[in-house]
Amino acid sequence: MTQTVSRPGAGARKAPLPLDVEAIRADFPILSRTVRDGKRLVYLDSGATAQKPLSVLDAERDFYLTCNAAPHRGAHQLAEEATARYEAARATIGAFIGAPADEVVFTRNSTEAINLVAYALSNAATAKEPEFRRYAVGQGDEIVVTEMEHHANLVPWQQLCERTGATLRWLGLTDDGRLDLSDLGTVVNERTKLVAVTQQSNILGTINPLEDIVARARKVGALLLVDGAQSVPHQPVDVTTLGADFLVFSGHKMLGPTGVGVLWGCYEVLDALPPFLTGGSMIEVVRMEGSTFMPPPQRFEAGVPMTAQVIGLAAAVEYLQQLGMDRVQAHEEALTGYALAKLAEIPGVTVIGPPDTVARGGAVSFTVEGIHPHDVGQVLDDLGVEVRVGHHCAWPVVRRYGVPATTRATFYVHTGYDDIDALADAIREAQRFFGVAQGEVS
Amino acid sequence: MQLQSMYQEIILDHYRNPHGRGLREPFEAEVHHVNPTCGDEVTLRVHLDGDTLADVSYEGMGCSISQASVSAMYELVVGKSVPEALETGEHFMTLMQSKGDASVAEKLEDELEDAVAFAGVSKYPARIKCALMSWMALKDASARALAATAAPGTHPTTPVGGDKA
């Protein structure tokens, strides 16, 4: 991995970008629309949800046009074809993260995938089947998260602890937006049942060093869940070297449709977990007195699945594979370095998160002195620059850094230097509008 | 730019120089309201004299719209009876639902005074909640204050210190 360290104040340089932005933009029809009275759409909110290339839309449409049926049910030809496409998509998506197909469980999104694990762990405590009790969580047990987590990787664990009497503990943050691992040895201990940590912060952009956490979790026999919602779309992720037991990610943040997410789990662990949602297609035998369940991944996929979305996600994966995830990461790193340098040139702008591109992804959060992020976002929007404002579903993070909220720009494969120039110009316009513009630093 | 329609000079004035800001005593009810999508916050106290809003005091943080709205509301409701103030709140709600229809704003000019300047906010659905937060807090606090004064001695929602004066 190459690392370009931007030096604030050294001037923003436009090195050639690894991806052909103009060619890629042609695949995203939405990017040619205008907003707010004819302004070019500068979409810098891929971290919330990504735009979709035509190939993803075509894949979904083709499924409905040619072989729509409920997979894993019925014996007619359409059902066979739908099942084959659904399972082929599972294999494609699994291969993208280095996983065999039977370790890939489809959920609605990352949030549901995390809830699936959290509920399976509390269901394990009351399961009548002894083989499902292996990972039961109860009183005296501990769950460890970090202060950097998205609410989706925090609230389900708070709730698990409330249901079971377990205790929630967490790793804190350093002033420069990194995980504080100084007390890893005490926070993760023999009582720890599971550690849940994000691979890339959705608000700070920090890419976390997972090696130390993996080693510590292994040593004490705790499960490790990695939230990949912001990493899998933006960098190569391979579960064979990740060292985790679970990885979750969302289709809609990686050019795929909404309504589909993935829980990857090490087969041995998945196989020892009781179900979360129950009903059709996850059962083996059903009698009035009780039921038995299918092996993974079917055990965790109750009801008719989101077949078209899964097929769309496989098309998104193929699109990303054609670009190459190494190049996607390098592209975003170049953009991030440029953005950090551009923002450093604007007096009154403070980046919340790592100040350089070392172990950092393309989520750039910042504050503008004297203007609330909502008001910053409003002026940016008026100029066609679409960013996220607020606490980004990571309220403890903004609290930790003593700001009420931030403005956040996130980049993806269609982002170019022109988008970041538009962002910087719009921030200056916001400062003029609210009368807080300061002298330039050069 | 369309921005001027939302950020009227009156709004920016209220934001920069808020009227009535600061938590004061006495009060019969205190509430804390947040706008969970963005983290805007207001703590608001109501002091009643009979059913008249003798004082509305507040502290808050958030965007210009949320903070200017509470300042304009303060000017508008202090001295009114609770039912009158709530009626004004209903007018403000109507304004927020007007989707930028200028005729709605014109009709409400007398009732809403400075607060009619928020008409431009109604064109931006994501910001309407910012403008309404303080009015929701006032409605909540007034109901609690009325309940507290109707049953003296029981201040279930009032923090310690609420009835010192």
CATH number at residue B90: 3.90.1010.10
For position B163, what pLDDT does the model report?
A: 36
Contact: B38, A433; criterion CB under 8 Å: no
Enumerate the β-bridge partners of residue A265.
A246
Contact: B64, A372; criterion CB under 8 Å: yes
More confident residue, B156 or B98: B98
Domain ranges in chain A? 21-52+324-433, 67-321
Q: Fill in the DSSP letter of residue A360.
A: B
pLDDT above 80 (res A398): yes
pLDDT digits (tens, 9 = 90+) for B92-136: 999 999 998 889 999 999 999 889 999 999 999 989 999 999 999
For position A391, what pLDDT does the model report?
A: 87
Residue with token string 């992720």: A237
Residue A398, chain B, CB below 8 Å: the answer is yes
Q: Give Cα A97 distance to the centre of its chain.
A: 14
For position A10, what pLDDT does the model report?
A: 54
- pLDDT-derived band at B153 (thresholds 50, 70, 90) equals low
Helices and strands: H and E segment counts in chain A: 14, 17
Q: What does the pLDDT average to over A216-230?
A: 98
pLDDT digits (tens, 9 = 90+) for A271-280: 999 999 999 9
Residue B24 belongs to domain spanning: 3-147
Residue B130, chain A, CB below 8 Å: the answer is yes
- Computed over every residue of chain A, the mean pLDDT equals 95
- Catalytic, A393? Answer yes
For position B154, what pLDDT does the model report?
A: 52
In a domain? residue B157: no
pLDDT digits (tens, 9 = 90+) for B15-61: 999 999 999 999 999 999 998 877 789 999 999 999 999 999 999 99
Residue B124, chain A, CB below 8 Å: the answer is yes
Residue A435's identity, in one-letter code, is G
For position A54, what pLDDT does the model report?
A: 98
A-B CB pairs within 8 A amount to 48
In a domain? residue B156: no
Contact: A374, B63; criterion CB under 8 Å: yes
For position A7, what pLDDT does the model report?
A: 46
pLDDT above 80 (res B165): no
Cα separation, A176 vs A150, in Å, equals 18
Contact residues on chain B for A374, CB-CB shorter than 8 A = 38, 40, 62-66, 127, 130
Q: What does the pLDDT average to over A282-293?
A: 96
Q: What does the pLDDT average to over A161-173?
A: 98
Report how far apart, in Å, the C-alpha atoms of A187 and of each of A167, A182, A399, A400 are: 11, 10, 21, 19
The yes or no reply on domain A21-52+324-433 and CATH 3.90.1150.10 is: yes
pLDDT above 80 (res A184): yes
- Peptide bond before A297: cis, by omega within 30 degrees of 0? yes
- Among B2, B17, B40, B63, most A C-beta atoms within 10 A, so best to mutate, is B63
pLDDT above 60 (res A97): yes
Cα separation, B27 vs B47, in Å, equals 4
pLDDT digits (tens, 9 = 90+) for B65-96: 999 999 999 999 999 999 999 999 999 999 99
End-to-end C-alpha distance for chain A, whole angstroms = 31
Task: Give me the half-sphere count of Cα atoms (radius 13 Å) on the Cβ side of residue A2.
Answer: 13
Residue A398, helix vs strand vs coil: helix
Q: What does the pLDDT average to over A82-106?
A: 98
Beta strands A223-227; A192-198: pairing state: parallel
ipTM of this complex: 0.85
pLDDT digits (tens, 9 = 90+) for A198-212: 999 999 999 999 999
More confident residue, A7 or B123: B123
The class level of CATH for A67-321 reads: alpha beta
What are the DSSP calls for A92-145, one per residue?
Answer: HHHHHTT--GGGEEEESSHHHHHHHHHHHHHHHHH-SSGGG-TT---TT-EEEE
Q: What does the pLDDT average to over A88-103?
A: 98
The count of structural domains within chain B is: 1
Contact residues on chain A for B38, CB-CB shorter than 8 A = 373-374, 389-391, 405
Q: What percent of chain A has pLDDT over 90?
A: 92
Q: What percent of chain A has pLDDT over 70?
A: 97
Report how far apart, in Å, the C-alpha atoms of B12 and of each of A161, A435, B7, B114 are: 46, 11, 6, 12
Of B39, B127, B130, nearest to A398 by CB-CB distance is B39
For position A365, what pLDDT does the model report?
A: 97
In a domain? residue B165: no
Of B37, B66, B127, nearest to A390 by CB-CB distance is B37
Contact residues on chain A for B131, CB-CB shorter than 8 A = none
**Inter-axis angle of helices B64-77 and B82-96, to 10 degrees?**
140
pLDDT digits (tens, 9 = 90+) for A28-64: 999 999 999 999 999 999 999 999 999 999 999 999 9
pLDDT digits (tens, 9 = 90+) for A337-372: 999 999 999 999 999 999 999 999 999 999 999 999
Residue A288, helix vs strand vs coil: coil
Cα separation, B4 vs B8, in Å, equals 6
Question: Which DSSP helix (H) or strand (E) runs through A369?
Answer: none
For position A428, what pLDDT does the model report?
A: 97
Cα separation, A180 vs B105, in Å, equals 53
pLDDT above 50 (res A20): yes
Listed in sequence order, the residues at least 6 apart from B130 whose beta carbon sits closer than 8 Å to its beta carbon are A374, B35, B38, B40, B62, B63, B65, B66, B69, B121
pLDDT above 80 (res A331): yes
In a domain? residue B159: no
Contact: B62, A373; criterion CB under 8 Å: no
